[in-house]
Structure 1
Amino acid sequence: MNDVSHGTTIQAAGAPLAEAKGALILLHGRGATAASILDLAHYLAQPGLAFLAPQAAGNTWYPYSFLAPLGDNEPYLSAALRAVAETAARAAAAGIPERRLFFGGFSQGACLAAEYMARHARRYGGLLLFSGGLIGPPGTPRDYGGGFDGMPVFLGCSDVDPHIPLARVEETAAVLGGLGARVDQRIYPRLGHTINEDEIAAAAQLLAGALGSGAAPSGGDVLAE
C-alpha cells in the first residue's frame, strides 16, 4: 500500500448532504469498502440524515494491528485521520452543525473513529463504535485534550472478539467517559466479529434521540469480517 492519500473518494447515502439536517460519517473496516459500510444506512436511516463514507487507499486505513506501536502504522494512520477530518469539513461546509454530526465505524474503522474523536474531543452529535477501540499498544498515554460535554457514545463488542481485546474496549469506554462522554458499553458473550441486532437498535436510538426523529430501527446482523 504505497498511496497514503485516503479519502479522496467519499460515497454517500441517505438524505442529500445539501438538504440534510445531520450527517453520520461511517468508516469501513480492513479489506472492506465505503460502499460496504454504507449498508448500515439501511438500518440506521433517520429523516434528514446524510451518510458519508470515505474510502481507504487499498481498502485499509493502516497496515498493522491497531495494537501495534503508533509509529509502525505511520504515515498511514495520520493520513487516515486527515481523511476523517476532511469528511467532517465537507459536512460542515454543507451547513451541518457539530451537534448534528456523528461518527461511526466497524472494526478498523471503529478504531479510527475512536482515535479521531479522542484527539478532537468536542460536543459532536455522537459516536458509534462497533467492535473497536483506541489505537496504540498497551500502556499508550491517553493524554487527550478537549471534552465531549455529555456527548452520547455507543460501544459494542464481543467478549472474545479475535481482533479487539476486551481490555481495550473497557479502556476505551473509560477514556471517553473521562473526557465527558455518556458511554453505553455493551459486551456480548461469544459474539463473532460482527454487528448484531441489539447494537443496531442502540445505535438507531442514539441517532433518533440526538436528531429528535423518533424513527424506529430495523434489525439483523449486517456486517462481519
Structure 2
Amino acid sequence: MREVELEIAGLRVVGVGDPESAAMVVVLLHGFAMKPADLSPFAHSLRLPAWFLFPEGPLEGGGARAWWHIDEVAREAAIARGPRDFAEQHPPDLPAARARLEALVGELTPRVAGRPFYLGGFSQGAMLSFDAVLRSSFELAGLLLFSGSRIAWDEQEPLLARARLRGRPALVAHGRTDADLAFAAGVALRDAATAAGADVTWLPFEQGHEIPLVVWRTLRKMLSERA
C-alpha cells in the first residue's frame, strides 16, 4: 500500500492507502511519547480497502509527540503507585488538542465524500477521540478505542445522551495487565461508550499497555464486514 506524508489542518499526517479508491477512511491517533510511524505499519498488514490516516500530535512529549503535555516525572511516579484512571483529570491542553482534531476532521470531510469514517486511537489518542466525539458533531461510522480511559468525566457524562453514537459500532480493547492505565479504566470507558448508545465490541486481552495482534485482527474483521 502507498504511504505518504501529508499536512492536514496544520498537522503532519501519515497516510496509507489510496484516498481515491478506498472504500472507507480510518483516522487513528497515537499515544503519548509516540509518533505516527509507530502505528502506520499495521495499516499495511491489515490489507483493507481503506485510507488510513495517522496524525502527529502537535506537542513534544517523551522524546516523541503528544496530544497534551504530561509531566514525565509525575507520570513515572504515578505509574509506580499503580495503574491509573484519568477520569478525574482535566489536562489544560485538552481543549486545544480537541480543537486541532476537530479542524482535521472538518478539513477531511469533503474528501471522505460520504464514505464510512472511523475515528479512534491508542492511549492518549483514544481519550482524545472519545472526548471529541462526545463534544462535536462528527458523523462517524464507528469508534476505535485502544487502551484508553475516560477523561474530564464530570464534563463528559452529561454529554452521553446526545452523543452521535447510537447504533454505531465501537471496538474497545484493554489489557488486563496494563501497568499504565488500569484495566478498570478500560472497563469504565467501555461502559461510557455503551451508555452513549454505541454497539460496543469489548475486547479484553492478557497483555499490557499495547495493541497486540488480537486487536488488529478484530479490527480487520470489523472493518472488513463493513467495507
Bin the TM-score by the shorter chain.
0.7 to 0.9
Superposed, 1:102-121 pairs within 5 Å as 102-120=118-136
Match of 2:67 among 61, 70, 87: 61
3-state SS of the aligned residue for 2:157? coil
The worse-fitting range, judged by mean Cα deviation, of 87-96 and 105-114 is 87-96
Counterparts of 2:138 and 2:68, CA distance in 1: 25
3-state SS of the aligned residue for 2:226? helix
Counterparts of 2:10 and 2:147, CA distance in 1: 22
Other-structure match for 2:78: none
**Counterpart check, 1:78 vs 2:95:** yes
Counterparts of 1:186 and 1:95, CA distance in 2: 28
Superposed, 1:123-134 pairs within 5 Å as 124-134=140-150
Q: 1:114·1:133 contact (CA, 8 Å) conserved in 2?
A: no
1:23-76 per-position Cα deviation (integer Å, ceiling 9, x unaligned): 1111011111123222221233312x11112211210111237727544x21x2
Cα offset, 1:121, TM superposition: 6.5
Counterparts of 1:163 and 1:13, CA distance in 2: 29
**Counterpart check, 1:197 vs 2:213:** yes
Other-structure match for 2:16: 13
Q: 1:123·1:149 contact (CA, 8 Å) conserved in 2?
A: no
Counterparts of 1:148 and 1:122, CA distance in 2: 10
Other-structure match for 1:221: none
Q: 2:133·2:164 contact (CA, 8 Å) conserved in 1?
A: no
Match of 2:157 among 127, 136, 142: 142
Whichever residue aligns with residue 13 of structure 1, its letter is: V
3-state SS of the aligned residue for 1:210? coil
Whichever residue aligns with residue 52 of structure 2, its letter is: F
Superposed, 1:155-174 pairs within 5 Å as 155-174=172-191
What TM-score does the superposition give when structure 2 sets the normalisation length? Answer: 0.78
Q: 1:7·1:54 contact (CA, 8 Å) conserved in 2?
A: no
Other-structure match for 1:214: none
Other-structure match for 1:22: 24
Cα offset, 1:142, TM superposition: 0.8
The worse-fitting range, judged by mean Cα deviation, of 195-204 and 60-69 is 60-69
Q: 1:14·1:45 contact (CA, 8 Å) conserved in 2?
A: no
Q: 1:121·1:179 contact (CA, 8 Å) conserved in 2?
A: no
**Counterpart check, 1:51 vs 2:68:** no
Counterparts of 1:94 and 1:122, CA distance in 2: 14
Q: 1:85 to 1:187 in 2, by over 3 A?
A: same
Whichever residue aligns with residue 30 of structure 2, its letter is: H
- Deviant stretches of 4+, over 6 Å: none
What's the C-alpha RMSD, in Å, of the aligned pairs? Answer: 2.4
What TM-score does the superposition give when structure 1 sets the normalisation length? Answer: 0.78
Whichever residue aligns with residue 117 of structure 1, its letter is: V
Q: 1:112·1:134 contact (CA, 8 Å) conserved in 2?
A: no
Q: 1:44 to 1:128 in 2, by over 3 A?
A: farther
Counterparts of 1:89 and 1:7, CA distance in 2: 12
The worse-fitting range, judged by mean Cα deviation, of 24-33 and 117-126 is 117-126
